[in-house]
Chains A and B, each alone.
Chain A
Amino acid sequence: MRSRSYCEALNEALHQEMARDPSTFVYGLGVPDRMSVFGSLVGIRERFGPERCFDTPLCEDTMTGFGLGAAINGLRPIHVHIRVDFLLLAMNQLVNMVSTFSYSTGGRLKVPLVIRAVVGRGWGQGYQHSKSLHALFAHIPGLKVVLPTTPRDAKGVLIAAIRDDNPVIVIEHRWLYWATGEVPEEPYTVPLGEGQILRRGSDLTIVATSWMNVEALKAAEILQRAGVSVEVVDPRTIAPFDERLAVESVERTGHCLVADNDWTHCGFGAEVAARVSEQCFGRLKSPVTRLGFAPTPCPTVRVLENEFYPNAEDIVRAVEAKLGLAPSDLSGEDFYSHERRFTGPF
């Protein structure tokens, strides 16, 4: 097995696709600087030159329209944002122009634009550097939205996004950058619109996005010891969203918990809950449960941040409540602590 980090997988995808297709280019604020977007762009500028890997003025909205203009003219732009939060400045171009452009030509024009955006978390990222906002983007017809969780998916999803003839927003959680796993060397695609089962189980289904898959897998491991078999479903693509995988899983387990890396109100969790409820109504043994961010801005100080984000412990407790089990003793459990890995500043 060839093991690579999520970040290396993204980097490999870019190297391979940019070598394969000269119409691709990467751009964005600070893209060529020493940080190389947390390492994901290492070696790209050196290999492909400043023409295909370049910095921009600070104008997210215009640089998004710029990507659109280039995409409809035979290029394959990859626009990178070190925080999703900055994409809010580009909502005008994204929602009014990028998402409608194909429609405005009856589907004749291609818009092969990739937007990579990193979700921040921890060590004081606070309320303007930690959002995910995927539900906001997924709400808009004409945009594809993917959130790869595993290193294997990071590479395959990014390659699929680059080869897609439509606008695709790839949301990358900063904490996942260190995750390691099997990553095949040859280029491959993970089809957009397909999810995967990260862990098989028979008692309860957890549908999780992005980092919450890590928490869900940890919770599943703990619950296994208590004799509860949890299935973890990662939809990967939330727009267009193919609910079949989640629905089939809940058909088998009868219980569904959605752990979304976002706020719950009007969020992707609500979408999953609605679809599962519509399609599994008679088979559900408990109402669909949603976990997500607290309905507040994200606080900076760690003790409050801990309250803001749901984690594996919250998932275990929610599952126990759904199944009518007594709360187990979790005092000996080793939950993920960001500080062990990362001491800022960014």
Chain B
Amino acid sequence: MKDATVNPPSLGTRSLELYKTLYTIRRAEELIIQYYPENDMKTPMHMSMGQEAIPVGVCAALRDGDQVFASYRSHATFLAKGGATDRFFAELYGRQTGTVNGKAGSMHLADPAKGHMCSSAVVATGIPVAVGAAFAHKRRGTGRLACVFFGDGAADEGAFWESLNTACVMRLPVLFVCEDNGLAVQTPAHVRQGYASLTDIISRFKCHVAAQDTTDVEAIRQTAEGAIIRMRASGQPAFLSFTCYRYLEHVGVREDFHLGYRSRDDYEAWRQRDCLTLQRARLVDAGHGEEALRSLEQDIDERLQQDVARAKVAPPPGPEELFKGVFHEKP
């Protein structure tokens, strides 16, 4: 295996970069909330809102060549892995200028050139693919790793356990990342899990394990960096679990506290430690001027507004697009 270090940290700008990514994702989703009711983005939205620190922190620990495999809740992973915001919105609007010309929508965002290999809407299906990708990287000596994001519900699926077992027995560079929001749609963990602690069980596998209850993007990045260093040193995979809170309904852009399966009080408590608020406060504490921050935020706002405006008027795909890509097409 090649060089075993992670991205060289450039400490001053790094906190700011993390904030910019968090902010971009949050604003992008706020724009989705704003425009979704116009019924022009016809794609089921599984919003990342509230959970953004996990993909942002973990992706910051990855190198460019490392690959991400995501679930349908992938707005944050896509943008955190470097996916372009203009193609993002164009895809949500189903336009020719989208990531796959509108054929993917919100649930299948991908940009292999950026290392965001897929988003999959069948729970846990990206996990085995990440294991195979890790095998290829190990075999070819690329030094890259495969990072797969999934929810706590995916850990109920056989494919998760099959994949964990395979990655452990074959010693593959897979970084398993569980975004534990405690819910599968509206079904809470205790209805689904016949065990007390997932990480306890996984710690019996030949795998590095870390669990954290945090919304601090820097803490998450550090945890991921630590895990990656251990993975590279040992050749074993790693499993990370971060507790988080999904601000909005499972699918769609509204709140859903009126349904009664969870309380607004919980939400308010999580909101107190919102990942953006935390990171912004950290920047201010470190001496970043309020005005500079606001101007930076405005720049992002404007860019995203332009992306939306351009996506709205972009052409839809032509009918010939339907048949494109069923099989590989030589460039």
Q: Which B residues are CB-close (under 8 A) to A75?
A: 135-136, 139-140
CB of A61 within 8 A of chain B?
A: yes
CB of A158 within 8 A of chain B?
A: no
Q: Which B residues are CB-close (under 8 A) to A104?
A: 100, 103-104, 108, 110, 118, 325
Known: A67-B132, A69-B134. A107 touches B329 (CB 8 A): yes
CB of A111 within 8 A of chain B?
A: yes
Cross-chain contact A166 with B325 (CB below 8 angstroms): no
Q: Which B residues are CB-close (under 8 A) to A73?
A: 67, 132-133, 136-137, 140
Of B128, B135, B326, chain A has the most CB atoms within 10 Å of the CB of B128
Interface flags, B124-146, vs A, CB<8A=1, else 0: 01111111111111011000001
Known: A56-B166, A70-B135, A72-B133. A96 touches B128 (CB 8 A): no
Cross-chain contact B140 with A69 (CB below 8 angstroms): no
Known: A69-B134, A75-B136, A96-B120. A62 touches B128 (CB 8 A): yes
CB of B275 within 8 A of chain A?
A: no
Cross-chain contact A66 with B135 (CB below 8 angstroms): yes
Closest chain-B Cβ to A46's Cβ sits at a distance in Å of 19
CB of B159 within 8 A of chain A?
A: yes
Closest chain-B Cβ to A194's Cβ sits at a distance in Å of 16
CB of A106 within 8 A of chain B?
A: yes
Cross-chain contact B136 with A64 (CB below 8 angstroms): no
Interface flags, A92-115, vs B, CB<8A=1, else 0: 110011000111111111110000
- Return the chain A residue nearest B325 by Cβ: A107
CB of B294 within 8 A of chain A?
A: no
Interface flags, A39-83, vs B, CB<8A=1, else 0: 000000000000100001101011111111111111101000000
CB of A142 within 8 A of chain B?
A: yes
Residue in contact with B128 in the complex, picked from A51, A64, A103, A142, CB distance below 8 Å:
A64
Interface flags, A154-166, vs B, CB<8A=1, else 0: 0000000000011
Query: A324 CA to B203 CA in the complex, in Å?
Result: 73
Closest chain-A Cβ to B52's Cβ sits at a distance in Å of 24
Query: A77 CA to B136 CA in the complex, in Å?
Result: 10
Query: A104 CA to B108 CA in the complex, in Å?
Result: 7
Residue in contact with A57 in the complex, picked from B100, B134, B165, CB distance below 8 Å:
B165
Closest chain-B Cβ to A241's Cβ sits at a distance in Å of 14
Query: A104 CA to B102 CA in the complex, in Å?
Result: 10
Cross-chain contact B103 with A108 (CB below 8 angstroms): no
Of B125, B162, B327, chain A has the most CB atoms within 10 Å of the CB of B327
Q: List 18 A-B contacts (CB under 8 A).
A: A25-B139, A56-B166, A62-B128, A62-B159, A63-B166, A66-B128, A69-B69, A69-B132, A69-B136, A70-B139, A73-B67, A74-B136, A74-B140, A75-B139, A75-B140, A105-B325, A109-B112, A165-B328
